[in-house]
Amino acid sequence: MAREDLTRLTGTVNGPNCDDDDCPNVYRTASGSIVVQGSVSDAFRAPEGEALVEIPESVLKEAVRALGW
Each residue's pLDDT tens digit, 41-55: 999 999 999 999 999
Q: Check: CB of residue 63 under 8 Å from CB of residue 10.
A: yes
pLDDT at 19 over 80: no
Through-space distance between the first and last CA atoms of the chain, rounded to whole angstroms: 25
Question: By residue range, what is the domain housing residue 36?
Answer: 3-67
pLDDT(3) > 90: no
Read off φ and ψ for residue 67, nearest 5 degrees: -85, -10
Domain count, the chain: 1
What's the mean pLDDT in 5-33?
79
Entry pTM:
0.80
Handedness of CA 54, 23, 61, 64 (dihedral sign): negative
